[in-house]
Structure 1
Amino acid sequence: MTIDHVDLARVDLNLLVALDALLAERSVTRAAARIGLGQSAMSSTLARLRRLFDDELLTRSPEGMRPTPRALALAEPLRTALRQVQALVRREEAFDPATVERRFTISLPDSTEVLLGPRLLAYLRAEAPGVQLLLRAFDRATMLEDLDTDRIDLAIALAPEGQLHHKTRLLYRDSYVCLFDRAQVGLEPPISLDDYLRFPHVLTSLRGTAHGVVDDVLAERGLGRTLAVTTPRFLAVPFLVRGAPVITTMHARLAHFFASALGLTVSPVPVPLAEVAVSMVWHASYDDDPAHRWLRQVLVRLAGETQEAESL
C-alpha cells in the first residue's frame, strides 16, 4: 500500500504511544505514570485519540476503564507497529552488551530460576553489568496477555501455546524422576510401583489444582495415588520430602540438584511419563531488537552449558 505522507503527517506518534499505554493499563492515572505525563495531560490526550479514531476507545465500568471493540481491534496492530518503530530506531545503534543499560522482566517458575538464575546472573555481571533482571512468578493464565501488554519481555514455560505473534524457542528437554528421603521411607532405587503407590506424594502445581501428569497416567491404568500436600513452589518440595515419609515426582534436572544439595535420593519413576520441553516465549515484534535477541541467545547457550555440566 502506498504511504500517504500528507495524511500520515497529521498523526502525532506520541498519541499512539499514549493509546498503547491506555490499552495496557486501562487506567488514565496508571497510563500517565507509565509514559511520564500528568493525569490531566493524559485525559486531554485521550480526548484527542477519541477524535482521531472517531470512537470512545475506553469507557468507564465498575471494573475500571473498558476498551471498546474498536480499541481491542487496534491493540495488537498498534503494539506491533510501535515495536517495529522502536526496533528501527535502535537498529541504527551499535549494540554492545558491555555498555547497554536495559532492564528485562522475565516470567518463570522458581524451578527454572534455580537452575538458570545463578549462571545468568554471573554472566550478566561479568559481560553486561548494565543489564538488570526483574524476575516475576510464572502465571500461565496471564502470560500471553503480559507479553502483549509489555508487562514482561520474556517468559519461560512448558509447551507454551500462543498466537502467531508469540514466538518460541526450545531451551532444553527434561524427564521425570522420583525424589525421596531414604531414611524416611526406607526404600532403595529403583522403587517398585507398589512402593510408589504405598507412600503419599508431594505435588507441585502452578495451577493450584491437586492433579498432575502422574495422576493422568495412573488413571489410565485404573490406579491412583494419595496426595499429602500440593504446593505451587518447587523450592519447598525438597524440604517437605526431607521432613516426612513421602515421595515426589519432578523434573530430573531439578531433582538431581536437590538430591546433591540436601542428601536426598533419586529413582526412576515406575510408570512411563513423557519428556517435557522448557521453552522461551516472546512477542514477535522483539525479534529484531538487538538486546532482546542477545538475551535469548545467552539463555539458550547457558541452558545448554547447564545440561552439559549436569551430564558429566
Structure 2
Amino acid sequence: MNTQRFDLNLAHVFLALWHERSVTRAAERLSLTQPAVSSALRRLRECCRDELFVRTRHAMQPTAYAEQIARALEDGVEILRTALSEHGSFDPRSSTRSFVIGSEAGLDYTLGPIISARLQEVAPDVTMTFRQVGPAAMAGALEHREIDLALSTSQTVFPHCRSTMIGHFRFVCVWHPDHGKLPPHVTVAELTDRPHVLIEAATRYSVFDYMLRNLGIRRQVRVLVPSFGHLPSFLSRTSSIAVVPDYIGFLFSATTMLCVSTLPEIFGEHSIQLIVSQIGESDTGRAWLQDFVRDIAVAEVTDVNALSRGVRNRHL
C-alpha cells in the first residue's frame, strides 16, 4: 500500500464495502452517493495496487489482500475514533452522524417509529438505520461495528458486550374476528387447535416452540412469512392465528383489526435487552445513543407491560 497517498477517509469506504459487500449498501451506510463510493474504490485500488473487491454474481467478494488488511484498518479506525472522542463531546442538535440499530423479534416495529419521531425533535440531522439482525449474528455485528447497539430478546451472553435489561414481555395470541373468535384468555388446547402463521426467522430460533416441546406439544404451522408486518394481511383472510410478543400484539390491536388473547401463565415472562460492545466505549456519540434509546425503550415497554397486566387481570 502506498501510505503517502492514502486518504484516511478511504478507510471508512473500505470498511463499509467489507461489511456490506455492495457498493449500493455501502453508499447507504455512509450516506454517500454510489458514484462517490465507486470513485473512492478506484482510489483505494490505486493506493493498494490490488482489486480489493471483485464483483461476482451475488456480491463484491474481497481479495486475499483485502482480507489481510481488513482487521488492521478496523482496529486503526477504532483507535482514531476513540482518541478523538475522548476529548470531545457529542451535540445531538448539531451532529450529522449516522447510527445503526440492530434488532430482532420485531422490536423495531414497536420502538423504531417512536425513536425516529423523538430523534427529529432532539437530533434533527442525525440519520438512524434500523436493521434486522438475528441472535446468531448479533455478536459479530456489534464487534465489527456493523451496528452501534442491539435490541434483543435473546438470553445469550455475548462476549465483549454489556447488556442492560430494559423490560419484559409475554407471548400473546393474535387473530382476526372474521374467522372465528377466541376468548380473551386462551388455553393450551385452544392454542393448538388452530393453524398458525409463523415468522420465518422463528423456525431457527423460537423460545415459544421450545416451551411447547417441553410440554410435549407441537403447533400446526401452515404458513411461514418473512416478518411481523405480514401478519395482519395473512390473518385477515384465514382462520389461522399467530403467537407474538405482547408489544407486537398490542401494536396490531391498536392499528389493525386483529384481536389479542393472552396465554396461560406457564409461558412466563421474558426479558428485553439493550446490548452494546465494550469496544470503543469512550465514543461519546454512541454513549448518547445508548442513553437515548434506553430511556425511550424503558418508557415504551413499561406502557406495554401495564397494558398486558391489565388484560390478564381482567380475564384470569
2:245 counterpart residue number: 251
- Structure 2 regions of 5+ residues with no counterpart? 27-34, 308-316
2:62 counterpart letter in structure 1? M
User: Displacement, 1:36?
Assistant: 6.5
Give the greater-gyration-radius structure (CA): 1
Q: Which stretch has the larger CA shift, 158-167 or 92-101?
A: 158-167
In structure 2, do the counterparts of structure 1 residues 260 and 283 end up closer, same or farther at CA, with 3 Å as the change threshold? same
SS in 1 for 2:260: strand
Q: Which stretch has the larger CA shift, 217-226 or 153-162?
A: 153-162
User: Displacement, 1:234?
Assistant: 0.7
Paired residues in the alignment total 291
Contact 1:175–1:275 at 8 Å: present in 2 too?
yes
1:107 aligns with 2:99: no
Could you list the per-position Cα deviations for residues 122-167 of structure 1 after superposition, in whole angstroms to 9, with x for gaps in the alignment? Answer: 2111111111112233344544444444433333233274753344
1:25 aligns with 2:17: yes
Q: Which stretch has the larger CA shift, 81-90 or 134-143?
A: 134-143
In structure 2, do the counterparts of structure 1 residues 228 and 38 end up closer, same or farther at CA, with 3 Å as the change threshold? closer
User: Displacement, 1:115?
Assistant: 1.2
Contact 2:196–2:240 at 8 Å: present in 1 too?
yes
User: Displacement, 1:92?
Assistant: 2.6
- Mapped to 1, the partners of 2:213 and 2:298 lie a distance apart of 35
Match of 1:157 among 134, 141, 152: 152
Contact 1:110–1:233 at 8 Å: present in 2 too?
no
In structure 2, do the counterparts of structure 1 residues 304 and 25 end up closer, same or farther at CA, with 3 Å as the change threshold? same
1:230 counterpart letter in structure 2? L
- Mapped to 1, the partners of 2:22 and 2:210 lie a distance apart of 47
Contact 1:217–1:271 at 8 Å: present in 2 too?
no
SS in 2 for 1:217: helix
1:46 counterpart letter in structure 2? C
1:65 counterpart residue number: 62
- Structure 1 regions of 5+ residues with no counterpart? 1-10, 48-55
2:29 counterpart residue number: none
Could you list the per-position Cα deviations for residues 220-261 of structure 1 after superposition, in whole angstroms to 9, with x for gaps in the alignment? Answer: 333222112121211221332233212211101221221233
In the TM superposition, 1:218-233 aligns within 5 A as 218-233=212-227
Match of 1:296 among 290, 297, 302: 290
In structure 2, do the counterparts of structure 1 residues 253 and 201 end up closer, same or farther at CA, with 3 Å as the change threshold? same
2:180 counterpart residue number: 185
- Mapped to 2, the partners of 1:211 and 1:297 lie a distance apart of 29
- Mapped to 2, the partners of 1:29 and 1:119 lie a distance apart of 30
Percentage of pairs with the same residue = 21
User: Displacement, 1:43?
Assistant: 3.2
User: Displacement, 1:295?
Assistant: 0.9
- Mapped to 1, the partners of 2:235 and 2:150 lie a distance apart of 29
Contact 2:192–2:220 at 8 Å: present in 1 too?
yes
2:234 counterpart residue number: 240
Contact 2:110–2:248 at 8 Å: present in 1 too?
yes
Contact 1:205–1:212 at 8 Å: present in 2 too?
no
- Mapped to 2, the partners of 1:124 and 1:60 lie a distance apart of 38
In structure 2, do the counterparts of structure 1 residues 185 and 142 end up closer, same or farther at CA, with 3 Å as the change threshold? same
- Mapped to 1, the partners of 2:22 and 2:185 lie a distance apart of 59
